[in-house]
Chain A
C-alpha cells in the first residue's frame, strides 16, 4: 500500500510543467473572436509530439512508451493546469478506440503511426442529441466494393480538424462498429463549431459516402473502455485546473486591498477559498485512485473513473466560479483568463455526460454490486 506519488511521477510532472509554462501562451485568445489556432495549437502539438506524449500510454509492442495511467495524469494534469491548446485529447481518444477495437495488424499500423509521431487522431462517436449510446443514429455504414462507406454526421468531435485519421462509430446492420476514415478523403468534411471553451477545438464531422476501414472488434465493451479513460483525462484536467484557479484567487486575494486590508484577510473570502481547497484535495486524490485502478484493471476501475470525473468536474466548476467572484468584476471580462478556466470547467462537465448522469452510473454500479 502506498498512496504517495513516486519520485518518477514527480519528475515527469515537473518536466511537463517546465515545458508547458514556457510554451503555452493564452494571450492571443484573450481577444474576442480569436481561437486556439491563434494560440499555437499546431506549434504546441508539434513540440508535444517531439516529446513523445501521444505515445505515452501506447503499449511498447506498438512502439509506444507503455507507461501507466498515473504517468499519464502527471502530463494531463499539467495540460489542464495551463489549458494547453493541442489535440492530445482527440489523439488519446482515437488511440484507446483503436486499442480496444482494432485487430493486431490494425493496432500495429495505426498506433505505430501515432507513437512514431506521424499521425494525429480524433474519435467521432456522439450524436447531435449528445447521446453516446449504441448504436447511434446519426451515422451509418454500408458495405461497398469490398470495403465500407460512411454517411451521416457525428457531433462534438474534439480535435477533428487537426486529425489525420478519425475513428468513427457508425451503425452497421443495427450494431455499433468502429471505422477509421482518412480526414482528407473525399466525403469527409470537418466543420468547426462555436464551442464555448475556446481553448479546445470541437467540430462536427460530416460524412458523405466516405471510404472507411472497419476495425475488427465487435465487443460492447469498446466504448466503456474508451469512456472510462476519457473520464480520467477530463478529471485530471479538472483537478489540476481547479488547483490552478484556487492558487490564482489566493494570490489575488493577498494582493488586492479594500477597506485598508488585503481582501484575503476577510472571512467572507477566506472561507470560500478554504471550501475550494477541500474540494481540490478530494478531487486530486480521486483522480490518482482512478488512474491506479485503470492501470491495474481493478474491478472497481469503472466506478473509480466515473466518481473521479463526476467529483472533479463539479469541483472545477465551483472553483472557477469562486475564482471569478474573488476577482470581482474584472474577472468577468474577456481580457482576463478567468473565463477560459470557467468555460473549460463547464464544458468538461458536459462533454461526456453531466456529473449527475455519472452519479447515476455510479449508483447503478453499486446496485449491481449489492445484487
Chain B
C-alpha cells in the first residue's frame, strides 16, 4: 500500500506538459487524436491508460487550464461511449466515436420518462421495427443537455409481450431527426441550461442505430449507470464535482467565519467526511490499477457523496446568514479554481436537491446497496415477471 501520488517530475507528466506546450490551445480533434479524450479506452480511441495515468492526465489538463472532454461531453466520454466498444458494430464506432471524442457532437441520455424515473425498467416509449427503420413514439424527461446535443442515447421498448426489463433496447439517435422536439425545463435553481423534456412523434431511426441486439437495453443501461455512479464517488459538492470541503473550510478560515462555534464543528465533520470520500475514490481507482473489476462500490460512493454535498452547500449558505438568501455569487471565498457551473456556492446550493434525485434517487441507491452489496432480500415488483402489456393492462384496470 502506498498513498503517494505520481511525482511532479514523473516522465508521464513531463511528456504531457511538452504536448501542451506544443498545443497551447488544443482543439477537441487534436485532443482526441492524441488519445487524450478517453485515455482509458483501447487504441485507436485511447491509450489503454491505467487509472494512475488517468489521474495524471486529469491533473495535467487542470494545470494547462484546458477543460477535458470528460467534462465537455460527459455522456459520450464517461457514461455511454464505451458501450459502443463492447456492444457496438465497427460501423457504429467509425461513424459515431470520432466526433464524440472530439466534442464536435455532444451526447445526451434519453432514459427517464414522466411515468417512471426510479422505475426505469417501466419505460413506455416504443420503437417498432418497420423495414430498415424503427419508428419511435413516446416522451422522455430530465434529459441533461438535450437542447444542445447532436446525439441521444435512447432507451425504448421493442417488445411489449415479454416482462418489462427484457423488452428494452438502446439506440444511438441523431437529435435532429424529424419528429424529435426538445423543450427545456426550468429547474428550481432558476437556470435554464440543464434539463429538458424530449418528445418523439413517429421518429424514424435507421435500424443500424440499434446498440447490441433487441432486448439488450436494460443490461447496457445498467452498465452505464454503474459507471456514472462510480464517477460520482468524489468529494465535490455537486455530482461529486465542484468545490469540496477543502475549499469550504479554507473559505471559512479566510473569512473568519470558522470561529463561529455553530459553524466550526460541522465544518470539521464535513472536512473529515470529504477526506474519506477522496480516499474512497482513490481506492476505487487503485483497485482498477490492480485489475480488480469495478463492482458496485459506485453505489455506496454516490450514496455517501450526494448528501455530503448537500450538507456542504447548506453550511456554506448558513455561514452567510440572511445575506445568503440573495441571488448572488457568494461572499464566501472560493479559491481560484474552475468548477464550471458550480464555481459559486449560491448556484451549487440551489441546485443541490437534484443530486439525491438524479442517476438514481437516494432511496434507489440505498435499495441497491442493501440488495446488491449487503445481500438483503429484493424488493417485490409484481410487474417484473409478467409480460409488460399485461402489467400495463392490469394498471389501467386498477385505475
A residues at B contact (CB < 8 Å): 1-6, 9, 70, 246, 250, 253-254, 261-262, 264-265, 267, 269-271, 273-275, 277-279, 281-283, 285-286, 288-289, 292-293, 296, 298, 307, 310-311, 356, 359-360, 362-363, 366-367, 370
Contacts and interface: CB of A to CB of B under 8 A. Distances in A.
A363 B277 CA distance: 18
B285 A310 contact: no
B280 A366 contact: no
Contact of A281 (B2, B55, B290, B300): B300
Contacts of A275: 303, 366
B376 A270 contact: yes
Contacts of B279: 3, 282, 285-286, 288-289
A367 B265 contact: no
B272 A359 contact: yes
A3 B282 contact: yes
Interface in B250-294: 250, 253-254, 258, 264-265, 267-269, 271-273, 275-277, 279-280, 282-283, 285-287, 289-290, 292
Interface residues of B, number: 53
Contact of B370 (A3, A4, A274, A286): A274
Given A2-B2, A362-B272, A370 B253 contact: yes
Contact of A4 (B258, B290, B374): B290
The CB with the most chain A CB atoms within 10 A, among B276, B277, B300, is that of B276
19 contacts: A1-B52, A2-B2, A3-B279, A3-B285, A4-B283, A70-B1, A250-B374, A253-B376, A265-B380, A270-B376, A274-B367, A282-B277, A311-B272, A360-B264, A362-B271, A362-B272, A363-B264, A366-B268, A370-B250
B1 A310 contact: no
Contact of A292 (B1, B363, B366, B378): B1
A277 to B, nearest CB: 6
| Shortest beta-carbon contacts, A-B, top 10 | A3-B286, A270-B370, A282-B276, A359-B268, A265-B377, A274-B369, A264-B376, A274-B366, A3-B283, A271-B366
A249 to B, nearest CB: 9
Given A267-B379, A286-B279, A278 B267 contact: no
B366 A4 contact: no
Contact of A2 (B289, B303, B378): B289
B220 interface: no
Contacts of A267: 363, 366-367, 379
Main secondary structure of the interface of B (DSSP, over half): helix
A241 B6 CA distance: 34
B367 A1 contact: no
Contacts of B374: 246, 250, 270, 273-274, 277
Contacts of B290: 2, 4
A283 B188 CA distance: 35
Given A250-B374, A253-B376, A359-B268, 14 more contacts: A1-B6, A2-B2, A3-B1, A3-B279, A4-B290, A246-B374, A264-B377, A274-B366, A281-B280, A285-B283, A293-B3, A363-B249, A363-B267, A366-B268
Contacts of B1: 2-6, 9, 70, 288, 292
Contacts of B59: none
B269 A285 contact: no
The CB with the most chain A CB atoms within 10 A, among B1, B365, B371, is that of B1
Contact of B3 (A277, A289, A356): A289
A283 B6 CA distance: 25
Nearest to A275: B366
Nearest to A269: B376
Nearest to B250: A370
A307 B275 contact: yes
Contacts of B238: none
B3 A292 contact: yes
A305 to B, nearest CB: 12
Contacts of A279: 304
Contacts of A246: 374
A254 B375 contact: yes
Interface string B316-352: 0000000000000000000000000000000000000
Given A5-B1, A360-B268, A270 B292 contact: no
A307 B249 contact: no
B296 to A, nearest CB: 11
A310 B370 contact: no
The CB with the most chain B CB atoms within 10 A, among A4, A298, A356, is that of A4
Contacts of B300: 277-278, 281
Interface string B379-399: 110000000000000000000
Contacts of A292: 1-3
B253 A367 contact: yes
The CB with the most chain A CB atoms within 10 A, among B277, B304, B370, B379, is that of B370
Given A278-B303, A278-B304, A367-B253, A254 B376 contact: yes
Contacts of A4: 1, 283, 286-287, 289-290, 292
The CB with the most chain A CB atoms within 10 A, among B265, B290, B366, B379, is that of B366
B373 interface: yes
Contacts of B277: 282
A292 B3 CA distance: 7
Contacts of B265: 356, 359-360
B4 interface: yes
Given A274-B366, A278-B304, A363-B264, A311 B273 contact: yes
B280 A282 contact: yes
Nearest to A356: B265
A43 to B, nearest CB: 33
